[in-house]
Amino acid sequence: MQSFAGKVAIITGAGSGIGRALANQLAAKGCHLALADIDAESLEATATPLRQDGLRLSTHPLDVSNRDAMHAFADSVLNHHGHAHLVINNAGVAVSQTIAELRYDDFEWLMGINFWGVVHGTKAFLPHLLTHGEGHIVNVSSIFGIVSMPTQGAYNASKFAVRGFTEALRQELCDTAIKVSCVHPGGIRTNIARSARFYQGIDGKTDATRAAARFDRLARTSAEQAARIIIKGIQADRPRIMVGADARLLDHLQRLLPASYPRLLGKLLRKG
Q: Which residues are known catalytic residues? A: 155
* DSSP code at position 244: S
Residue spans of beta strands (DSSP E) within the chain = 8-12, 32-37, 57-61, 86-89, 95-96, 135-140, 178-185, 188-189, 197-198, 221-222, 240-243
Residue 182 to residue 167: CA distance in whole angstroms = 7
Cβ burial of 78 (10 Å; 0-12, 13-18, 19+) is: middle
Question: CB–CB of 8/85 below 8 Å?
Answer: yes
